Structure 1
Amino acid sequence: MLQAADTSHELPPMACAGNAVAVRPQRDDSAAFGRQIAQTLELLTSALVPQRRLVHAGDSIYQAGQPFESLYILNSGFVKIVNLSADGREQVVGLKFRGDWMGFDGIAEGCHGCDAVAMDTGEVWAIGYDALLAACAAAPALLKLLHEAMGREIAHDRGSLMSVCTLSAEARVADFLLQWGASMALRGQRTDAITLRMTRAEIGNYLGMALETVSRALSRLAREKIIDFVEKGRRDVRIADPQALTHFLQRCAAL
């Protein structure tokens, strides 16, 4: 019999606004998280028939105003969640990595309030919401997975808001790099050299600051030899010592 996904390994704490503490996921955490993703997908396919879709950078997974019919799980790749502000500007309000669920914003009003846009080649699984609810009624383990996914999204949104409200601009950039690196480490990928799938303008948009401010913060981190850039592209960042980045964040938060 198929067992429910092992959720005894919660996401380890990452850079946290307010106390500026970062913990780098350990190899055991990464292995457990990988098993949890695989078991989640296995549980879904045993109870439902997810629609699997290959996406490329720039592809829309769903759009604001679109009728809500499905939830989505990112099996590979990266996705940004974009909201349209009152003056017509796009605001990046979320980032999704492998194993993350998407589309919860559509449940309350019956239509999506944001766009989900792929930032890289990847695979997305679409699960019909009505079918998912019916399956949850018959499989408590599936309902538990759904509730945990909702809970993680709420906790992440709260942490992002705290970061914007309490950290300085340079600390926010350091926190962003730590969060990205920790997300990669949790998924078993190298963190000493990461490729940011966002432009500086998009990073600033996401963190609530100007492009120039992001560039100055990154330049300071490079001057202090906390990060380094690969010659070919300024999106490729080397972080030789994540602990040094954590200490930088702590210093900024203490000012």
Structure 2
Amino acid sequence: MPPLAGVAQTGALPAGPSLTGPVPKHVAIIMDGNGRWAASRGLPRAAGHKAGAEAVTRCLRAARANGVDYLTLYAFSSENWRREPSEVADLTGLLRFYLRHKVAELHREKVKIRFVGEVGRFGQDLCAEMARAEALTEGNSGLTLLLALSYGGRSDIVHAARALAQAVQCGDLAPDAITEDMLARYLLTAGVPDPDVIVRTSGEHRLSNFLLWQSAYAELVFLETLWPDFDEDCFTRVLNIYGRRERRFGARPA
């Protein structure tokens, strides 16, 4: 497996998979590197996406085992619609397969499923599958899994701003009464705490329009590991990187 790399200035990674620090309440992951994983093996991109879906299963297992309350996975960005139609078809086909064959298993494990993004773009059939998954798992008390599908951070903020503007226009809200907390209640992630840590695999060092408002004080961890190679050990090492960070939220150190 390729080596993990936290941000260079964090120093050497803790050795081994043992958890050594506090566990974040909410972990968000930009799953990147499926195409490169496949290309390095002479395989079609579809094989990389399939291997990436298997990594999701390992990630979920690790999140539950370590007591994480919320896990958000950037599964399909609003920009991904620009990819080749064949690749979009492969991705939506995988989504359909997992909705039909994996949701019951997640329900048995008490996972609550929630979708965030412009999911209507996937069509009526897939939207109905997503609605069924959310309804089935709504009452579950275990890990909350948020799948960001056709999601864009900027459009999320625009959506919230439009809702607030409508409330002002209708006379239900005074402009000077708008606060950060109020805007957050109109985001697609309303009711979910902001992520404590955002992870990106494959060596890229950017957020790519993911949870832009919500990531204001998130710790950022960038890994060289390609997403299909992500496993339980990687997850624990991410938690250990997080546990070594000092979170001050803008305050001066003591």
Scaled to the shorter chain, the TM-score interval is under 0.3
Please, what TM-score do these two structures have when normalized by structure 2? Answer: 0.25
Q: Which has the higher contact order (CA 8 A, sep 6+)?
A: 2
Please, what TM-score do these two structures have when normalized by structure 1? Answer: 0.25
Structure with a larger share of its residues in strand: 1
